[in-house]
Amino acid sequence: MNQMDLIELQPDETFVLNVGPQHPATHGVLRVKMTMDGEYIYDAETVLGYIHRMHEKMAENRTYAQYMPNMGRLDYLSAMAFNHGYALVVERACGIEVPERAEYIRVLTVELNRISSHLVWLGAFVLDLGGFTPLMYCFDDREYILDLLESITGSRLTYCYFRFGGLYNDIDEPFIEGTRRFVKRMYKELKMYAKLVTGNIILMKRLRGHGIIDQNMCQRYGATGPVARGSGINYDVRRNEPYSVYPELDFDIPVDDGCDSYARYLVRMEEMVQSLRIIEQILAKLPEGPINPAKKPKIIKPPPGDYYAAVETARGNFGIRLVSDGGKNAYRLKLRSPTYSNMHLFDEACRGMLIADALAFMGSLDLVIPEMDR
> By the criterion CB under 8 A, which residues form the site for other proteins?
15, 17, 23-25, 39, 126-133, 136-137, 140, 196, 200, 202-203, 205-206, 354-357, 359
Of residues 300 and 368, the one with the C-beta less far from other proteins: 368
3-class DSSP state for residue 373?
Answer: helix
**Amino acid at the residue 341:** S
Of residues 29 and 217, the one with the C-beta less far from other proteins: 29
Cβ 350 vs Cβ 361: under 8 Å: yes
Of residues 137 and 161, the one with the C-beta less far from other proteins: 137
Cβ 304 vs Cβ 326: under 8 Å: yes
Residue 191 burial (10 A CB sphere; 0-12, 13-18, 19+): exposed
3-class DSSP state for residue 70?
Answer: helix
Of residues 222 and 352, the one with the C-beta less far from other proteins: 352
Least separation in angstroms between CB 332 and other proteins: 40
Instruction: Check residue 232 and give left, alpha or beta (phi > 0: left; psi -120 to 50: alpha).
Output: left
Least separation in angstroms between CB 24 and other proteins: 5
Nearest in space to 96 (alpha carbons), one of 19, 163, 8, 159:
163
Least separation in angstroms between CB 361 and other proteins: 12
Least separation in angstroms between CB 108 and other proteins: 27
CA R_g for the chain: 21
Of residues 94 and 126, the one with the C-beta less far from other proteins: 126
Least separation in angstroms between CB 39 and other proteins: 6
